Structure 1
């Protein structure tokens, strides 16, 4: 299956990725349990940071992301997919556009909008079906925002924190770009430039941002 293959971006044969799955690389643990464990590791071991954006190919290699301490939703999805493929569990990248409703002041200031795009999540194939999951928001951030962290049980989709613990609207999907076999960097660059043109006002050639 093509969703098990190593690619330029999902270079899971590299040591930095292999180290992440070393304790899971056994037949004693089920694929479902492996998926739950690596989902939780990626969710919580990389702090969510939507304000660092790169359009450089090498920055989206899973072996590079594995050495970082933070990442945006696409980066965290890439490292999770690479780990799953390394464990022989089919996985692919899914992109969309989301709107946040809580703690949006900085988002609006930096992006000119409370909409984030492209937003990344993961499709994983377990028990003969594709499931959606998102490792983006780490537990400590969820606590700060009064939102329950997303828990993946291996049976159901787990990709949307619609409300916070008080019942206030937190997040909604407003567009779905579908799934991809590999990282569609050209599409991502066009998408970012279309939605946030002000970032490129001073220099169209700029490839990295810290907003």
Structure 2
């Protein structure tokens, strides 16, 4: 494991007061597994997931900026978790993917023209000599609303988005894996968004945020 996945960066500004406050409970725990579980649950449920706020600027993707919000995009929540884990001396990195959403997509499809979301943000966490994937995106209230099992994570097994809801209806599908990244690849995120939603990208080019 390379120590670069522990580094503080502009985006993972974990010495900021906001991220230090985020990890204060986890700091009191003994094992890294306990710390991972505590922080994952805190990020999962303290920020409501919203796919309708997409950042196009460096400031948008700064962990301390995200921490001040009440809701966040999946990439934003992934960045928060990574910053907190690195602050706890636990290696973590961003993973990007393309997914399709099969439930409650009318508003999303009206804006994007598709039920495919790209890029989608996940987190890779290094524990006991292995990398494991997790998605802190869907808070428990949202899962209850859409009749989906809530995801838990303690670093020992992959925990990614749910393929089916509790009625066995298709919920989420992973379509493409864009790989993992040492830091937030803003230019690459923008290029993925542009390739998948060219007209929307033109409309909001130069905007601070895309809000639907």
TM-score (norm. length: structure 1): 0.96
Shift of 1:6: 0.1
Q: Which runs of 4+ in 1 moved over 4 A?
A: none
Report the equivalent of 1:42. 43
Report the equivalent of 2:31. 30
2:82 and 2:205 mapped to 1: Cα distance? Answer: 31
Q: What is the correspondence of 1:48-63 to structure 2 with a 5 Å cutoff? A: 48-63=49-64
Question: In the alignment, does 2:130 pair up with 1:126?
Answer: no
1:181 and 1:59 mapped to 2: Cα distance? Answer: 18
Match of 1:178, SS state, is strand
Question: In the alignment, does 2:174 pair up with 1:173?
Answer: yes
1:24 and 1:203 mapped to 2: Cα distance? Answer: 38
Shift of 1:200: 3.4
Report the equivalent of 1:18. 20
2:138 and 2:111 mapped to 1: Cα distance? Answer: 19
Match of 1:36, SS state, is helix
Q: What is the correspondence of 1:156-167 to structure 2 with a 5 Å cutoff? A: 156-167=157-168
Question: Could you say if the C-alpha distance between residues 31 and 109 of structure 1 is closer, same or farther in structure 2, counting changes exceeding 3 Å?
Answer: same
Report the equivalent of 2:191. 190
1:92 and 1:208 mapped to 2: Cα distance? Answer: 23
Shift of 1:125: 0.3
Question: In the alignment, does 2:153 pair up with 1:152?
Answer: yes
Per-residue CA shift, 1:96-136, capped at 9, x if unaligned? 00001111111111111000000000000011100000000
Shift of 1:202: 4.1
2:32 and 2:53 mapped to 1: Cα distance? Answer: 33
Give the CA RMSD over aligned residues: 1.1
TM-score (norm. length: structure 2): 0.96
Report the equivalent of 1:69. 70
Shift of 1:194: 1.1
Match of 2:170, SS state, is coil
Per-residue CA shift, 1:122-157, capped at 9, x if unaligned? 000011100000000000000000000111143110
Shift of 1:204: 3.7
Q: What is the correspondence of 1:59-138 to structure 2 with a 5 Å cutoff? A: 59-138=60-139
Match of 1:122, SS state, is strand
2:195 and 2:7 mapped to 1: Cα distance? Answer: 31
Aligned partners of 1:73 and 1:135 also within 8 Å: yes
Shift of 1:207: 4.1
Q: How many residues align?
A: 210
Shift of 1:208: 2.0
